[in-house]
C-alpha cells in the first residue's frame, strides 16, 4: 500500500487533520519524508518581530514577509541611510559588511548606544558587532 499525505499552509507550523481514518491493519509500516519545499513562503518577519531600533530615537518597521539574511541586511542598510540622510545624519557611523554565503554570516556595527526597550521581541542594535549563528 502506498499513500501520499500532503501538508500545506502559510505558518511556521504545519498540521493537518484527516477526517477519514487511515485504516492500517496489523503489520509493519514505514513512514518517510520524501520531499520538503518551502519556496520562502513561511514568514520569518511578522508584526510581532518587525521593529528595528537604531540611534537613540529611530525605528524601522520591516514589512511582514519571508526574507533571506542577505536581503534583510540590504533592506536595513538602505532604510538607515535613507532615514539618516533625511535628518542630515552621518551615515559613516554604521558599518555594513556584506553577507557571506560561504559561512552564512552578516555583520552590522554601530557607534551609537542602543535605547533600552522593554519588549523582547523588538530588535535593538547596541554598539558592537552582530554575527548570525
* pLDDT tens digits, 15-65: 777 777 777 888 888 888 788 776 656 778 888 889 988 877 888 999 888
- 22 inside domain: no
Q: How many domains does the chain have?
A: 1
Does some domain include residue 35? Answer: no
For 52, other C-beta atoms within 10 Å of its C-beta total: 20
In a domain, 98, yes or no: yes
Whether this model's pTM surpasses 0.85 = no
Assess if residue 1 is contained within a domain: no
Q: Which long-range contacts (CB under 8 A, 24 or more apart) does 6-14 make?
A: 10/41, 10/42, 10/43, 11/42, 12/42, 12/43, 12/44
Q: Is residue 2, in this structure, part of any structural domain at all?
A: no
Has residue 122 been placed in a domain?
no
Q: Which domain holds residue 70?
A: 51-112
Amino acid at each position: 500500500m502506498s499513500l501520499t499525505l500532503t501538508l500545506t499552509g502559510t505558518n511556521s507550523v504545519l498540521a493537518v487533520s484527516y477526517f477519514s481514518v487511515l485504516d492500517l491493519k496489523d503489520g509493519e509500516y514505514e513512514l518517510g519524508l520524501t520531499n520538503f519545499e518551502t519556496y520562502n513562503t513561511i514568514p520569518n518577519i511578522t508584526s510581532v518581530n518587525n521593529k528595528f531600533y537604531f540611534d537613540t530615537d529611530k525605528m524601522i518597521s520591516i514589512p511582514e514577509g519571508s526574507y533571506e539574511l542577505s536581503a534583510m541586511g540590504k533592506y536595513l542598510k538602505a532604510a538607515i541611510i535613507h532615514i539618516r540622510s533625511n535628518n542630515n545624519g552621518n551615515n559613516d557611523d554604521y558599518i555594513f559588511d556584506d553577507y557571506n554565503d560561504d559561512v552564512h554570516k552578516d555583520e552590522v556595527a554601530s557607534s551609537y548606544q542602543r535605547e533600552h526597550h522593554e519588549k523582547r521581541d523588538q530588535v535593538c542594535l547596541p554598539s558592537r558587532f552582530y554575527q548570525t549563528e
